[in-house]
Structure 1
Amino acid sequence: MKKTLVTAALFTMLTLPVLGQDSQYWTQQFGTRTALLSGAVLGGADDNTMIYYNPGALGFLKESSISINANAYRVESIKVENALGDEADFKSSRLGSVPLLAGGMIRTGNEKWKVGYAIIAPVDFNFKAIARADGNFDLVDDSESIGDEETVAEASITNRTSELIVAIGLGHKLNENWSVGLSNLFTSRSLDYQRSLSTYIFLNDTENSLIGGNILQNADYFNIRYVAKFGVVYQKNDWDLGLTITTPSLNLFGNGTVASNIAVRNLKLIDDNRISGVATDRQSELKTTYKSPFSVALGANHTFNRSHVGVALQYFAGIDLYDVMKPAPGSFVRPIDLAPQLQSDEFLSLRSGAKAVFNAAVGYEYKVSESLSILGGFRTDMSYYDQDLNDGAGIKPTISNWDIYHFSGGVTLNRKNSSLSLGLLLSSGSNNSYEQTGGFNPENPDLVAGSTTISKATYSNFGLLLGYTFYFRKFSLSGDAPSSD
Structure 2
Amino acid sequence: MKRSIILFFISFYFSGIINAQDSHYWSQQFGTRSALLSGAVLGGTNDNTMIYYNPGALGLLDNSSISINANAYRLGNIRVENALGQQADFESAQVGSVPLLAGGMINTKEQKWKIGYAFITPVDFSFKGIARLEGNEDLIPADESTGLEEFVAEAGVTTKTSELIFAIGLGRKLNENWSIGFSNLFTVRSHSYQRNFSTYVFMNDEERTLVGANQNQNVEYYNVRYAAKLGAVYRKGNWSSGLTVTTPSLNLFGNGTLASNIALRNIYLNDDNERVSGVATARQAELKSKFKSPFSVALGTNYEKGRSSAGIAVQYFSGIDIYNIMEPTPGSFVRPAELAPQLQSDAFLRNRAAAKSVLNIAVGYEHKLNETISLLFSGRNDMSYFDDQLNEGTGIKTTISSWDIYHFSGGVTIDHKNSSLSLGLLYSTGNTGNYEQTGNFDPNNVDLVEGTTTITNARYSNIGLLIGYTFYLKMFSFKNEPEN
Q: Is TM-score (shorter-chain normalized) higher than 0.5?
A: yes
Q: Deviation per CA, 1:125-153, whole angstroms, max 9, x where unpaired?
A: 00001001111112111122122211110
Kindly indicate whether residue 389 of structure 2 is the aligned counterpart of residue 388 of structure 1. Answer: yes
Structure 1 position 458 matched with structure 2 position 459: yes
- Determine the structure 1 residue equivalent to 2:8: 8
Alignment of 1:36-435 (within 5 A): 36-63=36-63, 64-71=65-72, 73-271=73-271, 272-435=273-436
Query: How far apart, CA to CA, are the structure 2 residues paired with 1:378 and 1:18?
Result: 19
Q: Distance in 2 between matches of 1:476 and 1:177?
A: 28
Residue range with higher mean Cα deviation, 325-334 or 8-17 = 8-17
Indicate the SS of the match to 1:59: helix
SS where residue 88 of structure 2 aligns? coil
Contact persistence 1:163–1:188 (CA under 8 A)? yes
Give, in whole Å, the separation in 1 of the partners of 2:117 and 2:205.
70
Q: Is the 8 A contact 1:3 1:148 kept in 2?
A: no
Contact 1:58 1:114 (8 Å CA) reproduced = yes
Contact 1:353/1:385 (CA < 8 Å) preserved in 2? yes
For the aligned residues, what is the CA RMSD?
A: 1.7
Deviating more after overlay: 88-97 vs 415-424? 88-97
Q: Distance in 2 between matches of 1:476 and 1:393?
A: 55
- 1:475 CA displacement: 12
Query: How many angstroms does 1:438 deviate by?
Result: 2.6
Deviation at 1:161, TM superposition (A): 0.3
**1:483 corresponds to which residue?**
none
Supply the AA of the counterpart residue of 1:201: V
SS in 1 for 2:228: strand
Query: Which stretch of the first structure deviates more once superposed, 396-405 or 446-455?
Result: 446-455
Counterpart residue type for residue 142 of structure 1? A
Q: Which amino acid aligns with 1:412?
A: T
Q: Measure, in 2, the Cα distance between the counterparts of 1:99 and 1:380.
A: 22
Identity of aligned residues (%): 63
Q: Which has the higher mean CA deviation after the structures are superposed, 220-229 or 263-272? A: 263-272
- For residues 49 and 10 of structure 2, the distance between their equivalents in structure 1, rounded to whole angstroms, comes to 44
Query: Is the contact made by 1:10 and 1:89 (CA closer than 8 Å) also made in structure 2?
Result: no
Deviates more, 1:273-282 or 1:471-480: 471-480
For residues 187-221 of structure 1, the C-alpha deviation after alignment (integer angstroms, 9 at most, x for no partner) is: 00111000001101011212211101100000000
- Counterpart CA distance in 1 for 2:476 and 2:216 is 58
Q: Which amino acid aligns with 2:299?
A: L
Shift in Å, 1:230: 0.3
- The residue type equivalent to 1:287 in the other structure is K
- Provide the C-alpha distance between the structure 1 equivalents of 2:97 and 2:154, rounded to a whole number of angstroms: 31
Deviation by residue 1:375-412 (Cα, 9 ceiling, x = unmatched):
00000000000000000010001000000000000111
Does structure 2 retain, via aligned residues, the 8 Å contact 1:3–1:136? no
Query: Structure 1: how far apart are the matches of 2:77 and 2:253?
Result: 34
Partner SS, residue 473 of structure 2: strand
- Do the aligned residues in 2 keep the contact of 1:196 with 1:214 (CA within 8 Å)? yes
Q: Secondary structure at the match of 1:145?
A: coil
1:158-203 C-alpha deviation (Å, 9 max, x unpaired): 0100000000101011111101111000000111000001101011
- Following TM superposition, by how much is the alpha carbon of 1:155 offset from its aligned partner in structure 2, in angstroms? 0.3
Which piece of structure 1 moves more, 251-260 or 143-152? 143-152
Residues 238 and 476 of structure 1: CA distance in aligned 2, closer, same or farther (over 3 Å): farther
Letter in 2 for 1:391: E
The TM-score normalised by the length of structure 2 is 0.96
Aligned with 2:191: secondary structure? strand
CA distance in 2, matches of 1:352, 1:104: 34
User: Per-residue deviation at 1:78?
Assistant: 1.5
Q: TM-score, normalised by structure 1?
A: 0.96
Q: Which amino acid aligns with 2:88?
A: A
Distance 1:398 1:2, change over 3 A: farther
CA contact (8 A) 2:241 2:300 kept: yes
C-alpha distance in 1 between matches for 2:195 and 2:349: 13
For 2:193 and 2:148, locate their aligned partners in 1 and report how far apart those are by CA, in whole Å: 35
Contact 1:417–1:474, Cα closer than 8 Å, also in 2: no
